[in-house]
């Protein structure tokens, strides 16, 4: 069955899953006769049972409050820390609905931090480390997708949602809900949410997502396809050891021409230089650089013959005394959007900067 | 006038003294360019009333005829305005550099020139034979850093030249990186003594971090280091890691590393990595 039945009154089914017994198993006894595999989503899971990554579909701020506030309150009552990384609008709605309980919930704006979704996993990782207590779970709300995201960003949000399953597979006490506002997001986007979430939570009822392909092999996650590149804005250039100073000068000039501020142009130069250096040192000694404009952004793409098998490359905050391996993390920090893909056929990285 | 390539560092960052330059050549055409550059360098010194000293390997066979464009070489030599040395006079004809002895010779040379009424010493030094064995490179780098300090304290201006074919491209780059002025295609950055500290300028990316490590490793092991990094126009993650590690190691030995006037590029990296005083020395 499809977990996305648009005729439901989303977020309004708190009475839905009475019949459910244990988490993850068949709930049975549904109230409309066709929810054979739904289960009681709120009481069936406890810390240590395994990472839960669930989508929540809601309609508008009221729907968000109806869907999430009872879940938050239940967590607080159990002593679980609750962290929300959501849009400003969702954050406001949650804060006002939570009343005095808001002081016990950490609500953060996802807007600037999550513009590049590749920065989000390290935030969750830090939250897990900070809040980890024996026998307790961390309840987290992550809203990486909001109306107005560009098509390029949405491709990356979906990739991020898929990576979450790999990133926290080792984290049995994290319960992460990803709210999607179905009243404002495109239908085709909502229809794909089940491919990156093992289950959907509707009120207290859990529905397994039939189209979730299962946990991918870690080395294959970075093989997610990218949209084909448009016509390049400028000539391709071959990247090798001797070209880096010239390459940096060229990128800086192009970035300023495109309308980036001096500071952001410098950040883009840093990002392209890091990636070019990776191509030279780890990607077979050569790379190819292309540039184009997409969704109003200036985009650089580096291609090389390297094969990166770590699906979380650049998504972990480097340790203070770490010697290498900071480059891609840095690229994720400074760019508005980063698309990192790799397979046995090579590595492609695209960095996007908006003109500001 | 010096060729344009010598102005590489003046446009950026700290007011570095022009006193210590490096010219790397790797072909006959480049060697001729070096000769022209060296002549211009010496002519500039002559105009300033400096004593000109040319130290070269005998295999280069620099003779009075080569210096003729400067003027009447014989008369200049008789006046003590021009002194020519074979490298063997300063070292035992190759081998690991006799560091203290050479520094003392340079020191005395500057004193003697001033005593004789010259405004200073201008030296062209072809030192390839000092580093034909790569194992001598570290000692020679240390010597170059000492010279870098000497030119700050003494009326001494010096151009070092290296034949890349003799010393190899890596050693040539390493040597160039400790000079405030470098010929165009040599190292893209410099680490060398400046007034009140150590200048760090130019571009360092992961392809050059080994050079940076080398250059930092040849500094005197003790005492505080004040880095003037205003001219560090580009620094990437790898280079920042090297600098942080350098600072951390010195801190362990009680030798503080301070960074003063960091360039925006370096300050940005420092901020992104969240480096703190305890982890990476003090950042001003």
Boundary residue ending a domain (A216, A250, A276)? A216
Partner A contacted by B188 (CB < 8 A): yes
Best of B273, B274, B275, B277 to substitute, by most chain A Cβ atoms within 10 angstroms, is B273
**How much of chain A, in percent, has pLDDT values that exceed 70?**
89
Q: Which residues of B fall within a CB distance of 8 Å from A119?
A: none
Kindly tell me if the per-residue pLDDT of B89 is higher than 70: no
Phi, psi of A317 (to 5 degrees): -65, 125
Partner A contacted by B251 (CB < 8 A): no
Instruction: Tell whether A249 and A306 lie within a shared domain.
Output: yes
Indicate whether A16 belongs to any domain. Answer: no
Q: Which residues of B fall within a CB distance of 8 Å from A280?
A: 207
DSSP 3-state assignment of B229? coil
Q: Which residues of A fall within a CB distance of 8 Å from B274?
A: 320
Q: Residue A270: closest CA among chain B residues belongs to which residue?
A: B236
> Total structural domains in chain A?
2
pLDDT given for residue A321 in this prediction: 67
Q: Residue B242: closest CA among chain A residues belongs to which residue?
A: A323
Indicate whether A33 belongs to any domain. Answer: no
Judge: B265–A327 Cβ closer than 8 Å, yes or no.
Answer: no
pLDDT given for residue B114 in this prediction: 92
How would you classify the pairing of strands B181-182 and B156-163? unpaired
Among candidate residues A9, A124, A97, A112, the one with its CA nearest the CA of residue A58: A9
Indicate whether A34 belongs to any domain. Answer: no
A229-250: average pLDDT? 87
B258-270: average pLDDT? 87
Quickly count: other Cβ atoms within 10 Å of residue A36's Cβ.
11
Indicate whether A331 belongs to any domain. Answer: yes
Instruction: Tell whether A210 and A142 lie within a shared domain.
Output: yes
Indicate whether A179 belongs to any domain. Answer: yes
pLDDT given for residue B284 in this prediction: 31
Instruction: Tell whether A248 and A199 lie within a shared domain.
Output: no
Domains of chain B, start order: 12-187 (3.40.50.300), 206-283 (no CATH)
Kindly tell me if the per-residue pLDDT of A7 is higher than 60: no
Full-prediction pTM beyond 0.90?
no
In whole angstroms, give the CA distance from residue A222 to residue B97.
53
Mind listing the pLDDT tens digit for each residue in A29-57? 334 444 467 777 777 788 788 899 999 99
Boundary residue ending a domain (A186, A216, A246)? A216
In whole angstroms, give the CA distance from residue A97 to residue A77.
16
Judge: B237–A274 Cβ closer than 8 Å, yes or no.
Answer: yes
CA distance A184 to chain B (A): 35
In whole angstroms, give the CA distance from residue A195 to residue A209.
7
Indicate whether A337 belongs to any domain. Answer: yes
Instruction: Tell whether A284 and A148 lie within a shared domain.
Output: no
CA distance A110 to chain B (A): 19
In whole angstroms, give the CA distance from residue A132 to residue A292.
44
Instruction: Tell whether A168 and A304 lie within a shared domain.
Output: no
CA distance A137 to chain B (A): 29
Among candidate residues A269, A83, A246, A97, the one with its CA nearest the CA of residue A176: A83
pLDDT given for residue A83 in this prediction: 95
Judge: A266–B265 Cβ closer than 8 Å, yes or no.
Answer: yes
CATH assignment of the domain containing A187: 3.40.50.300
Residues of A with CB under 8 A from a CB of B: 241, 244-245, 248, 263, 266-267, 269-270, 273-274, 277, 280-281, 318, 320-324, 326-327, 329-330, 333-334
Judge: B268–A274 Cβ closer than 8 Å, yes or no.
Answer: no
Best of B170, B189, B206 to substitute, by most chain A Cβ atoms within 10 angstroms, is B206
Pick the more confident residue, B93 or A195: A195
Judge: B234–A281 Cβ closer than 8 Å, yes or no.
Answer: no
Instruction: Tell whether A182 and A232 lie within a shared domain.
Output: no
Instruction: Tell whether A307 and A200 lie within a shared domain.
Output: no
Indicate whether A229 belongs to any domain. Answer: yes
Encode A200-238: b = buried (16+ Cβ within 10 Å), e = exposed.
bbbbbbbbbbeebeeebeeeebbebebeeeeeeeeeebe
Among candidate residues A153, A88, A121, A142, the one with its CA nearest the CA of residue A353: A153
Indicate whether A148 belongs to any domain. Answer: yes
Instruction: Tell whether A86 and A190 lie within a shared domain.
Output: yes
Instruction: Tell whether A269 and A161 lie within a shared domain.
Output: no
* Percentages (nearest 5) of helix, strand, coil residues in chain B: 50, 20, 30
Judge: A245–B188 Cβ closer than 8 Å, yes or no.
Answer: yes
Across the interface, of B188, B237, B268, the residue whose CB is closest to A326 is B237
CATH assignment of the domain containing A227: 3.30.565.10
Count residue pairs from A and B with Cβ separation < 8 A.
62
Domain that includes residue A44, residue range = 39-216
- Stretch among A37-46, A91-100, A332-341, B155-164 having the lowest mean pLDDT: A37-46
The 3-state secondary structure of B160-223 reads EEEEHHHHCHHHHHHHHCCCCEECCCCCCEEEEEECCEEEEEEEECHHHHHHHHHHHHCCCCCC
Mind listing the pLDDT tens digit for each residue in A89-134? 999 999 999 999 999 999 999 999 999 999 999 999 999 998 888 8
Instruction: Tell whether A174 and A312 lie within a shared domain.
Output: no
Q: Does the structure's ipTM exceed the value 0.85?
A: no
In whole angstroms, give the CA distance from residue B171 to residue A300.
34
Q: Residue A252: closest CA among chain B residues belongs to which residue?
A: B234
Boundary residue ending a domain (A216, A239, A264)? A216
Judge: B207–A320 Cβ closer than 8 Å, yes or no.
Answer: no
Instruction: Tell whether A206 and A231 lie within a shared domain.
Output: no
Quickly count: other Cβ atoms within 10 Å of residue A126's Cβ.
12
CA distance B129 to chain A (A): 27
In whole angstroms, give the CA distance from residue B235 to residue A270.
8
Residues A104-113: contacts with CB within 8 Å, 24+ apart?
A104/A76, A105/A72, A105/A76, A106/A81, A106/A82, A108/A83, A108/A84, A109/A85, A110/A85, A110/A86, A110/A142, A110/A143, A110/A144, A110/A146, A111/A87, A113/A85
pLDDT given for residue B58 in this prediction: 63
CA distance A251 to chain B (A): 13
Instruction: Tell whether A211 and A225 lie within a shared domain.
Output: no
């Amino acid at each position: 069955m499809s977990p996305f039945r648009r005729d439901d009154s989303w977020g309004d089914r708190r009475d839905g899953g009475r019949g459910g017994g244990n988490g993850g198993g068949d709930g049975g006894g549904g109230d409309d006769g066709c929810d054979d595999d739904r289960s009681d989503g709120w009481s069936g899971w406890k810390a240590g049972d395994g990472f839960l990554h669930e989508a929540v579909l809601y309609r508008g701020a009221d729907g968000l409050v109806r869907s999430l506030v009872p879940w938050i309150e239940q967590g607080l009552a159990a002593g679980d820390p609750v962290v929300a990384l959501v849009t400003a609008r969702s954050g406001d709605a949650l804060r006002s609905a939570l009343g005095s309980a808001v002081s016990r919930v950490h609500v953060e704006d996802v807007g600037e931090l999550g513009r590049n979704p590749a920065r989000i996993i390290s935030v969750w990782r830090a939250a897990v480390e900070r809040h980890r207590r024996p026998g307790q779970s961390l309840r987290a709300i992550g809203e990486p997708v909001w109306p107005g995201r560009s098509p390029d960003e949405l491709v990356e949000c979906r990739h991020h949602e898929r990576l979450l399953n790999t990133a926290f597979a080792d984290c049995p006490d994290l319960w992460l809900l990803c709210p999607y506002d179905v009243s404002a997001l495109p239908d085709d986007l909502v229809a794909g949410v089940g491919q990156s979430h093992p289950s959907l939570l509707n009120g207290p009822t859990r529905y397994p997502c039939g189209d979730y392909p299962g946990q991918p092999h870690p080395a294959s996650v970075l093989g997610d396809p990218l949209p084909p590149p448009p016509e390049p804005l400028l000539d391709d250039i071959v990247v090798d050891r001797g070209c880096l100073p010239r390459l940096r000068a060229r990128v800086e000039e192009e970035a300023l021409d495109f309308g980036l501020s001096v500071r952001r142009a410098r950040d883009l130069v840093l990002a392209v230089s890091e990636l070019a250096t990776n191509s030279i040192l780890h990607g077979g000694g050569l790379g190819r650089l292309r540039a184009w404009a997409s969704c109003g952004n200036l985009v650089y793409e580096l291609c090389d013959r390297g094969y990166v098998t770590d699906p979380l490359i650049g998504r972990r905050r480097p340790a203070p005394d770490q010697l290498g391996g900071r480059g891609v993390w840095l690229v994720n920090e400074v760019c508005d959007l980063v698309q990192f893909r790799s397979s046995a056929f090579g590595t492609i990285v695209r960095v996007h900067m908006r003109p500001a | 006038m010096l060729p344009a390539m010598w102005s590489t560092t003046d446009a950026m960052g700290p007011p570095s003294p022009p006193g210590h330059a490096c010219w790397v050549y790797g072909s006959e055409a480049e060697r001729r360019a070096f000769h022209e550059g060296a002549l211009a360098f010496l002519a500039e010194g002559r105009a300033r009333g400096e004593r000109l000293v040319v130290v070269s390997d005998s295999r280069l066979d620099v003779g009075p005829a080569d210096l003729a464009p400067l003027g009447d070489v014989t008369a200049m030599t008789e006046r003590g305005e021009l002194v020519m040395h074979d490298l063997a006079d300063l070292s035992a004809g190759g081998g690991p550099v006799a560091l203290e002895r050479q520094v003392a010779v340079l020191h005395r040379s500057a004193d003697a020139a001033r005593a004789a009424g010259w405004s200073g010493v201008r030296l062209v030094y072809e030192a390839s034979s000092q580093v034909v064995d790569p194992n001598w490179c570290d000692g020679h780098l240390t010597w170059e850093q000492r010279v870098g300090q000497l030119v700050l304290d003494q009326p001494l201006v010096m151009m070092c030249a290296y034949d890349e074919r003799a010393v190899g491209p890596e050693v040539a780059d390493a040597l160039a990186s400790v000079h405030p002025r470098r010929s165009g295609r040599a190292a893209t950055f410099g680490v060398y003594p400046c007034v009140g500290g150590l200048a760090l300028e130019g571009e360092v990316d992961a392809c050059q971090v080994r050079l940076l490590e080398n250059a930092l490793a040849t500094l005197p092991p003790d005492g505080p280091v004040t880095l003037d990094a205003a001219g560090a126009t580009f620094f990437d993650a790898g280079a920042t890691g090297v600098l942080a590690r350098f600072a951390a190691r010195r801190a362990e030995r009680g030798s503080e590393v301070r960074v003063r006037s960091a360039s925006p590029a370096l300050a940005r990296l420092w901020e992104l990595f969240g480096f703190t005083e305890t982890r990476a020395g003090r950042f001003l």
